[in-house]
Structure 1
Amino acid sequence: MPEGHTLRRLALDLDDAFSGTAPRVSSPQGRFAEGAALLDGMPYAGAINNGKQLFVGFGPDDEHPDGARVLHIHLGLIGSMRFDAPLPAPARLRIELPDGPVAELRGPQTCALITPGERQAIEARLGPDPLRADADPDRAWQRIRRSNKPIAALLMDQQVLSGIGNVYRAEVLFRNRINPDTPGKALKPASWRAIWADLVELMPTGVIDNRIDTVRPEHTPEAMGREPRVDDHGGEVYVYRRHDQPCLVCGSRVRTRVLEGRNLFWCGKCQRRG
């Protein structure tokens, strides 16, 4: 599932393509035809994400005096948005300008027209997003410090922390040498501050590069004399999808198991802190 940095990149790309315009909006597939008809020709008012939730604003103007509308998108496991020539298969949503940019949405978990008030209600249920300047990490900490659940599970709970997925979860726990089974209430405050600081550092780079790289300079392929990692789900990482491969730091085998329906990756030798 795309993580928060991907949604932030999509918001920026939508703004680059459609700011200051009133684009055509359609649903070639037909499943969003009614909502697309309401948005068609309305002024584009900007996109923003909160974690894995993307909100695209339209209107109002003199021709649409009934007020602003909000398009809510959640990509889910298979959703994607492309900014190039349309594919043969019909898209759920198409936003376009005549002889200009085209954005097509396919396979989303959510593509719905909501009110500004409904958007506020959705955001109120989310934990702080490390990509947002107004995020308060103490909100997440107050939930973590009272929980018996493993920190590896809590980091994936969008009501605790918004925008974190399987890759960032595995990598920040490794980078901070934290045992993924540590109960939230046993996690040290300093460890939580280190996790948050790491996410604030790593995720903006993911937005810029549109991929997740987490290895420190001394562990890059060039520094270690190893082959670059080849994987569609991320860049240079320590443990994510590296099951049974040698840890880049200690050489022991990276482990994996399923935790709450998702594959967890960690190094048993490096990650011993609580």
Structure 2
Amino acid sequence: MPEGHTIHRLARSLAELVGHRVRAASPQGRFPADAVDGARVEDVDAVGKHLLIDTAAGRTVHVHLGMRGKWLRFSPVTGAPLRQVRLRLATPDVAWDLIAPSRCELLTLGDRSALVGRLGPDPLRPDAEAAEAARRLRSFRGPVGAALLDQGVIAGVGNVFRAEALHACRIAPTRAARDPSEADAGRLWAVLTRMMTRAVEDGRIVTVDAEDRLAVPEDRARRVYKQDACRDCGTPVVTAEVGGRTSYSCPLCQPS
């Protein structure tokens, strides 16, 4: 499933629709395209793993890509969208086609506010508060590895950022979320912010040190995530199910 940096990159790209009246279509027939057809796009925003396209019609197109969803961009626009397209948003110059999302729906302003209100602070948003993130993290009943995957605690974090940020902070994913001090929780937030911000710029998650991060092979781009051995100390990486997902950690760097 795409993590938060992917959705923020998408929001940047889809922002080219802002200020334009878009033609909307749903060849698949599973989205009420008529409700936004001809509407002006006022903003494209990302909160955690959620993409929000606000229109002047007072409706927001909410998209969650899930495991298989993706947006395809076409410019110039050379033909009609394929039948499997859930939603096309197009201007005369460009078309964005959405395929196989886990969710694509219209929200009212109230629905939009409720959705955002259920999410925790997003490390990639300037309005996020580190203190609130630390409070939610340390209030979580369960392991810290599960807390980081709970979008109501911190929004946008997935399995890769969980593994790499906890490793960078020397925190075992199985430790109780209440155990790290406020200072440790603050450091974890700072590490997530740095890693995720860099991933937005790079278009991929690279946590190892390298002069040219984009040249690092994908299977060697992380320190513990899906690695046989810790890239820092060489200790074999251990796995466990935490929060319903496989966690990766170094038992030497991250003692439990």
TM-score (norm. length: structure 2) = 0.91
Instruction: Determine the structure 1 residue equivalent to 2:4.
Output: 4
In angstroms, what is the RMSD of aligned CA positions? 2.2
Residue among 97, 102, 113 paired with 2:91: 97
**1:39 Cα shift?**
0.6
Instruction: Determine the structure 2 residue equivalent to 1:27.
Output: 26
Residue among 236, 239, 242 paired with 1:256: 239
Q: 1:240 to 1:152 in 2, by over 3 A?
A: same
**1:270 Cα shift?**
1.1
Maintained 8 Å contact 1:6/1:207: yes
Q: Which amino acid aligns with 1:157?
A: D
Residue among 105, 109, 115 paired with 1:112: 105
**1:186 Cα shift?**
1.1
Q: Which amino acid aligns with 2:71?
A: M
Residue among 187, 190, 193 paired with 2:180: 187
Q: Which amino acid aligns with 2:4?
A: G
Number of corresponding residues? 252
Maintained 8 Å contact 1:219/1:248: no
Identity across the alignment (%): 38
**1:73 Cα shift?**
0.8
Distance in 2 separating the partners of 1:31 and 1:83:
20
Per-residue CA deviations over 1:212-255 (Å, capped at 9, x if unaligned) read 11123499799xxxxx4335xxx71111122xx22111111112
Q: 1:176 to 1:217 in 2, by over 3 A?
A: farther
Instruction: Determine the structure 2 residue equivalent to 1:143.
Output: 136
Within-5 A mapping of 1:1-274: 1-16=1-16, 18-32=17-31, 35-60=32-57, 68-84=58-74, 88=82, 90-98=84-92, 100-217=93-210, 228-231=216-219, 236-242=221-227, 245-272=228-255
**1:87 Cα shift?**
7.4
3-state SS, counterpart of residue 149 of structure 2: coil
Moved more, 200-209 or 4-13: 200-209
3-state SS, counterpart of residue 116 of structure 2: helix
Q: Which amino acid aligns with 1:25?
A: A
3-state SS, counterpart of residue 83 of structure 1: strand
3-state SS, counterpart of residue 139 of structure 2: coil
Q: Which amino acid aligns with 2:38?
A: G
Q: Which amino acid aligns with 2:137?
A: I
Q: Which runs of 5+ in 1 are unaligned?
A: 61-67, 223-227
Q: Which runs of 5+ in 2 are unaligned?
A: none
Distance in 2 separating the partners of 1:194 and 1:84:
41
Distance in 2 separating the partners of 1:95 and 1:123:
23
Moved more, 153-162 or 196-205: 196-205
Distance in 2 separating the partners of 1:144 and 1:260:
14
Distance in 2 separating the partners of 1:194 and 1:257:
24
3-state SS, counterpart of residue 140 of structure 1: helix
Maintained 8 Å contact 1:154/1:184: yes
3-state SS, counterpart of residue 149 of structure 1: coil
Maintained 8 Å contact 1:128/1:140: yes
Instruction: Determine the structure 2 residue equivalent to 1:65.
Output: none
Q: 1:221 to 1:53 in 2, by over 3 A?
A: closer
**1:147 Cα shift?**
3.2
Distance in 2 separating the partners of 1:87 and 1:177:
48
